[in-house]
Amino acid sequence: MKITLRIWRQANKDAQGKMQTYQLDNVSEEMSFLEMLDLLNEQLTDQDVEPVAFDHDCREGICGMCGVVINGAPHGRYNSPVATTTCQLHMRNFKDGDVIDIEPWRAGAFPVIKDLAVDRSAFDRIIQAGGYISVNTGSAPDAHSTPAPKREADKAFDAATCIGCGACVAACPNSSGMLFTSAKIAHLANLPQGQPERRLRVKAMVAAHDENGFGGCTNVGECAAVCPKSIPLESIGQLNRDLIASLFRGDGRTIS
Amino acid sequence: MPVATTSATPSLSVHQRALRSNVVKKAIMAVTGLVLITFLLFHMFGNLKMFVDAEAYNHYASWLHDDILYPILPHGWFIWIFRVVLLACLVGHVYCAASLWRAARHARSSKYVHAAHRPEQTYAARTMRVGGVILLLLVIFHLLMFTTRSVQIGFDSASTPYEMMIGAFSLENWWVVLIYAIFVGVVCMHVRHGFWSAFTTLGANVGPNARIALNCLAYFVAVLLFVGFMLPPVAIMFGMVN
Ligand code: HEM
Ligand code: SF4
Ligand code: FES
């Protein structure tokens, strides 16, 4: 099929970007969205035009590197009931003659590096602030020495599937990173190993979230509707409960 | 132990930084917003007293002003305590709204060229901020009219509370009824998203069923407020009360 692409081109972080139009023929509906972009880049290289920069790695929906906004929808999911990453989206979702607008994640906290690639290191800084548990290495404890209740373990596992892609921020009217932050909070708060640092963790991560330039949540729910891993909106409820409860406790009162 | 690696203000403890977070501002908005909604429910219910008769309504109005909690409090004290609390809630609510609005504008610094696809955002949610500002202006108008009586439409300084209401909403002042319909409509839209949002902010959204239940309750409260507040003016306008 033939499609028309309108793609955000921006030379670097400080350059003024704009939408560029490209025609692409011979697009097969079996192609993934990224393979379609590969095809475009081959064509651009042949024409001596700078190829379009976009992030990707695993191309099987598990690494969280890919992600662009397609016709206004992060990862191009639109109203489909099937959660998807950009790399798992296929061209059969489009039809001959379609005009497809492709833009990078837009958020103050995610500056554009080039074209469609954005800098998501603000997410790393939120995780660094507390998204882990501290353990002393040594001989591994017996597997059954710390019982983990099944219901909580399942919740923790579901939350742990967040791949840090950033679609939640791209979709949010406030560019809030609450779904991402709350996925880590819900993951560790539902496991016995997460308990010792639970209160300090939520305080540190919420503070880091705001200080890195993400907006506040207004409980709209766009994040959960685009999340490729179906992280549920109630994770944010867990974060709110944990934060409010932790403020009545002394954790993190001393300046370290 | 988790440490702050990105502290914008290293002189603050983690606890202090968390206290200054957006989630805390949201929680303040939630609590103050719910206090305001509770007040609105009582206010609406009280207004319906006018359907009993003029005497019942005037008696209720004077009880509000002079007698609540008497004799624990002297005559007329309660109303002032009540006003101070409500004003503090409104100020806290609006202050946090402004602060979060600023943060969100900063965070969403660039817009999409292709209009963002937002399947979840309701009209009520999208208009919370602008609606809030309109709401604030209409609240001021409302107070100028019925509390301070600086704006007198269809009544004068000597009117009883009942006469004031009948005069203001009479058929020749149909446009006052229209303004109030808009006012109450804006309030109800705000409550439609605000009610669900407040409970979620306070952690009550524990799962998909809770989300449905909270949203249904929000619709219920919003519609109840609209009907309850609009019954008296509409009934007066059509001459069903005199
Ligand atoms: C009778 C007056 C009011 C009531 C009953 C009320 C109620 C509420 C409630 C319950 C919330 C939800 C809080 C949360 O999500 O944590 C809310 C949110 C909000 N209110 Fe109000 N409010 C009132 C007046 C105002 C005014 C005067 C303004 C602005 C000038 C305002 C602006 C906002 C904004 C911006 C939000 C946040 C929107 C969101 O979370 O999506 N409100 N309000
Ligand atoms: S919560 Fe979902 S949308 Fe957000 S970063 Fe994680 S996987 Fe991506
Ligand atoms: S490239 Fe790894 S998730 Fe898409």
Predicted pLDDT of residue A245: 98
Q: Are residues A128 and A215 in the same domain?
A: yes
**pLDDT confidence tier of residue B7, bands split at 50, 70 and 90:** very low
**Closest atom, ligand 3, to C-alpha of A67:** 4
Q: Which residues of B touch A237 (CB under 8 A)?
A: 200, 203-206, 210
CATH of the domain at A14: 3.10.20.30
Ranges of chain A whose pLDDT falls below 50: none
**Structure token pair of residue A176:** 């809030």
**Closest atom, ligand 2, to C-alpha of A177:** 4
**Closest atom, ligand 3, to C-alpha of A228:** 3
Q: Which residues of B touch A19 (CB under 8 A)?
A: 113
ipTM of the complex: 0.92
For residue A171, being part of any structural domain is answered with yes
Q: Pick the ligand that lies closest to the CA of residue A226.
A: 2
Range of the domain at A14: 3-103
The string of pLDDT tens digits covering residues B20-61 is 999 999 999 999 999 999 999 999 999 999 999 999 999 999
Q: Which helix (H) or strand (E) holds A20?
A: strand A18-24
For residue A203, being part of any structural domain is answered with yes
Contact B117/A72, CB-based, under 8 Å? yes
Q: Are residues A129 and A88 in the same domain?
A: no
d(CA B67, CA B71): 8
Residue with tokens 């249904």: B216
Alpha-carbon separation of residue B61 from A82, A226, B51 (angstroms): 57, 52, 14
d(CA B203, CA A189): 14
Predicted pLDDT of residue A87: 97
Q: Pick the ligand that lies closest to the CA of residue A233.
A: 2
For residue A108, being part of any structural domain is answered with no
Look at ligand 2, atom 5, and give the residue with the nearest C-alpha. A164
Query: CB-based contacts of A177: which residues, under 8 Å, 6+ apart?
Result: A109, A122, A123, A126, A166, A168, A169, A209, A212, A214
For residue A256, being part of any structural domain is answered with no
d(CA A209, CA B21): 9
Set out the domains of chain B in order of their start, with CATH numbers: 21-110+122-237 (1.20.1300.10)
Count structural domains, chain A.
2
Q: Is B102 near chain A, with CB under 8 Å?
A: no
For residue A114, being part of any structural domain is answered with no
Beta-sheet strands, E only, within A99-174: 99-103, 112-114, 117-118
The string of pLDDT tens digits covering residues B199-234 is 999 999 999 999 999 999 999 999 999 999 999 999
Query: Residue B55, Cβ neighbours under 10 Å: how many?
Result: 10
For residue A53, being part of any structural domain is answered with yes
The string of pLDDT tens digits covering residues B78-121 is 999 999 999 999 999 999 999 999 999 999 988 999 999 999 99
Predicted pLDDT of residue B10: 65
Answer whether A67 contacts ligand 3 (Cβ < 6 A). no
Q: Are residues A13 and A56 in the same domain?
A: yes
Q: Is B212 near chain A, with CB under 8 Å?
A: no
Scan residues 106-135 of B and list those with Cβ closer than 8 Å to A.
Answer: 106-121, 125-126, 128
Contact B19/A174, CB-based, under 8 Å? no
For a mutational test of ligand 2's pocket, the pick from A231, A234, A236, A239, i.e. the residue with the most ligand atoms closer than 8 A to its C-beta, is A231
CATH of the domain at A206: 1.10.1060.10
Q: Are residues A125 and A241 in the same domain?
A: yes
Look at strands A99-103 and A3-9 and give their pairing: parallel
Q: Are residues A37 and A77 in the same domain?
A: yes
Q: Are residues A239 and A160 in the same domain?
A: yes
Q: Which of B2, B8, B21 sits opposite A200 (nearest CB)?
A: B2
Contact A247/B210, CB-based, under 8 Å? no
Q: Which residues of B touch A175 (CB under 8 A)?
A: 104, 107-109
**Closest atom, ligand 1, to C-alpha of B195:** 10
Q: At what angle do helices A234-246 and A178-189 cross, to 10 degrees?
A: 70
d(CA B64, CA B47): 12
Does pLDDT of B164 surpass 90? Answer: yes
Answer whether B25 contacts ligand 1 (Cβ < 6 A). no
B117, B193, B212: best to mutate for the A interface, most A CBs within 10 A: B117
pTM here is 0.94
For residue A72, being part of any structural domain is answered with yes
Predicted pLDDT of residue A114: 98
The string of pLDDT tens digits covering residues A4-14 is 999 999 999 99
For residue A156, being part of any structural domain is answered with yes
Predicted pLDDT of residue B52: 94
d(CA A158, CA A241): 19
Predicted pLDDT of residue B9: 60
Q: Are residues A79 and A171 in the same domain?
A: no
**Structure token pair of residue A10:** 């921006």
The string of pLDDT tens digits covering residues A168-194 is 999 999 999 999 999 999 999 999 999
Query: CB-based contacts of B51: which residues, under 8 Å, 6+ apart?
Result: B231, B232, B235, B241
Q: Pick the ligand that lies closest to the CA of residue A32.
A: 3
Q: Which helix (H) or strand (E) holds A104?
A: none
The string of pLDDT tens digits covering residues B145-154 is 999 999 999 9
Q: Are residues A164 and A99 in the same domain?
A: no
Q: Do the Cβ atoms of A51 and A41 come closer than 8 Å? A: yes
d(CA B241, CA B52): 10
Q: Do the Cβ atoms of B183 and B136 come closer than 8 Å? A: no
